[in-house]
Amino acid sequence: MFKNVIAPIQAWLLSQGKCVGCGMPLSKAKSTPYKGNNKMVTCKCNRMYVLDTKANKYRRALLSEI
């Protein structure tokens, strides 16, 4: 039930390049090269994201990628 409300907000935050947990711009977070053109970004709140540097889009890192 809550997921239905929160998911669009998180998607919006990510589309703005911000962490869904703390709202920090992910461009300021630590990043390491990951799978070719991607970067693994670790926020200060320990949430992890994958940045597609071609599309310049963030997504949440999957559990299997961490």
Q: For Zn ion, give the closer residue by CB, 43 or 61.
A: 43
Dihedral of the alpha carbons of 6, 38, 18, 29, in degrees to the nearest 10: 130
- Whole-number Å distance between alpha carbons of 26 and 2: 25
Considering only residues 7 through 66, tell me which ones interact with Zn ion, judged by CB under 5 A: 19, 21-22, 43, 45, 47
By beta-carbon proximity to Zn ion, the closer residue of 6 and 22 is: 22
Helix (H) or strand (E) holding 14: helix 2-15
Q: Which is nearer to Zn ion, 9 or 45 (CB)?
A: 45
Residues that bind Zn ion (CB under 5 A): 19, 21-22, 43, 45, 47
